[in-house]
Chains A and B, each alone.
Chain A
Amino acid sequence: MIVENVLFAFQEVFHWKNLGLMVIGTTAGLIAGSIPGFTITMAVVLTLPFTFGLSPVEGLSTMIGVFVGGLSGGLMSGMLTGIPGTPSSIATTFDGFPMARKGRPGLALGLGVWSSFFGGIFSAVLLVTLAPSLAKIGLEFGPWDYFALVLFALTITASLSGETLVKGIIAGLLGLFVASVGEDEINGVARFTFGNETLESGFDFLPVLIGLFAFSQLLSDVQDTEKARRPLMSGVEAKGVRVEHLAAIRIILSRWVNVVRSSLIGVFTGVLPAAGGSISNILAYDQAKKASKNSSEFGTGTPDGIIAPESSNNATAGGALITMMALGIPGDVVTAVMLGALLIHNVQPSPSFITENPDIAYAIFIAFFLAHFIMISMQAFCLRAFLLVVRIPMYMLAAVILSYCAIGVFALNNVQDDIWTLFVFGLIGYGMKLLGFPLAPMILGVVLGHVAELNLSRAISLSGTTDQFLLDMVTRPWALFFLIIAAFSVVFPWYQKARETASWTLAYLPALMICLAVPLSMMDGWPRTLIAVVLALGAVYLLVRSARRGWSVSTDDAA
């Protein structure tokens, strides 16, 4: 059965039309990722209107191409100009730019491109092996557990969104509210329509998303008149640069530990809802620096400083896809858009997604592998295209893309009201950005609002009473598990700030481990009990070690 599905998926993905779309998607992603001010999310969001006319496999393959291309495209501008194309390539510039300035731009680009490739392939292998297993665990979830999982997704998104936690949570809650406008799925009752008939069907998710992300981003990009009128980049010297493929591969293979470690960091970060490549590339760079015997060379153009961020940011994509495919929860905003693309085709992502839609699931696996090969082969061409695109002023791109947003949003449902939704949410998104509210939690709130309400309703019905529901939430192992990590994720920003100064932070990790050991020990099967015991023992060890050191936070650094 699996072989049949894989063969069928191969047929679909390697169809000439799909291959053509993937090449276009990856190329577009590479170019969009290389332009500062453009984000990968925006590139994927703008691809969305095209996908409704395509089959699910074609649409998702194109979006995966854009996603993978975008993650690798950021390195071009970062290395050649010192300005990262996307936030997921920030750490790449730390060593990529100095190496290019030292006269080795070809090697710097080669290291970046091939590290992206190896990181991506590593995460693709993990995606294929882990997603079906994780989906099996997901099948154990009841409505209580799903409701708790959504709470966790929102709290972790808010705490990792880089802004203040309170604003992040408010943004997430506003997203939940937006999702509740219109006819309620459970009882068919209209809510918050204020007498407006067009609001009865609620806000369509995709115009909201395009408005919040693309529209508001474009307005931010043209806010400064002088900057908007200048070419996107000036003084880019890349004529005659040849990517040194073989030399780069040799160097990367000789530093395979760094590739594996960074890729693992990338996958783990991607699995967490909303923690994307912008976080993983810096984490991986930091870990590579700490692990290196020549840490003082970091920042001067060392290969390890390019390998770590680039392999981790591409690996993040695989991690995000694992969460989406196994649990039906978007791993980041890009996968939230992909989730929207699946919904256009009436495919509901859930733990049963892989078993119910094996053709699409295996096609996603194969397309993710294939996109990395396309990315490698298109890099040289895109370097030339990048040099042409950066001559265009931002205001020209912004005006054209805004009109495209309007056409694309209309094309999704053939409804003019959707353009009004785009307009209103463009305004809201721009305002929220100006006021320091992160947009990622709001997007997740809009996507997960229905899931949360539906599961809350089911859970209350099954529990019988509200009291019993509350009791179930803390006695069901998975629900308790997610509630615990949700609670710890709320405290995480304070922990991160105080990590090297306050002694209470030494108890954070052990406390989390002990708390997680409780629901794990309540679960069936000896492996989980074993994990619970290991976690508890690990926590005790950490506590004893900290106590012996007198709860001093700077012991390691001082040593």
Chain B
Amino acid sequence: MAARLELRLNPSRKLEYLVPVFSVLLSLVVCAGLLLATGTNPLVAYGAMLREAFGSSYGFAEVLVKATPLILCGLGVMLAFKMLFWNIGAEGQLHMGAWGATAVVMTGWQGPGWLMIPAMMVAAMAAGALWALIPAYLKVRLNTNEIITTLLLNYVAILWVAHFIYGPWKDPVSFGFPMTQQFPPGAQLPRLADSRVHLGFLVALALVVVVYFVQEKSRWGFEIAVTGGNPRAAEYAGMNAARNVLVVMAISGGLAGLAGMVEVSAIQLKLLKDISPHAAPYGYTAIIIAWLARRNPWGVLLVSILMGALYVGGETVQITMKLPVNIVLIIQALILFFVLGGDILSRYRLVFDRQEAVGGG
């Protein structure tokens, strides 16, 4: 008996949305098995994670804090995926954005104070966009594989930031820690109410709406969808694929760059090494988010908040139950694994052939 995959003629719409839901549930089940194997009651652990993330106003504020860079990176990655440009480089673009924002601070801002934050945002988006344009340009001109170039440029960007915080921008009184001085108050994003939630979250929310209209309602969004659906049809319809790749990647990198800016300006208040959580960097989590969100901006918002909760819950069980924070990474990886598998099964049907008797027919 042999198994093979057969294309489904009418892939179900419902399945498209059920796959992410079941993937999340399945990954929690598998992870529960792992927790059991280490002698932890998974229900207790999950309960603690849930309570922390959604049970207290402090916890939920933290969820939104984590969700902010995820929304921004997720939107960027989603736009690129929409036209089948596999941008795996949000992490590098985020780092370049953080660097660009910091550059405004470090070079001594001379303009009016109220303009400093907008200037940092613009610098961050420009830095992220330029960084994303490198692989985009290479793709358009030389047809390089963007998965490789965007991925490898992440390491370059992280080392670029390291160069500045170990070298020219290092705080002289940091006792040798690689970080800049704390940003002046004028370079810090205002916080909302009494929480750590900051203006960046509102900006991210606004951008969800903007991206929704651009992607789903505009002529240009239609071009992106056609290019992603059938590049040859896009050419036939008179769309300029090369220019669209450049524009989409500039936006994608700009959004990730903005994520870097909000992290340094609202959370870290300085440029330092781990602007993105070491265990599960935002730029990579964004890939999972874009995939789970079914390339839908509202989906990005929803999934980012869930992922934010996973981060917060993971930190909690690390502190209270001494579980490794890598549990976050394991659950994320399992989710992606199940979504990819589920996507294949929703487009194909698994068929078992019984070998025909020889001589028949």
Bound pair (A, B): no
Q: Give B contacts to A, CB under 8 Å.
A: none
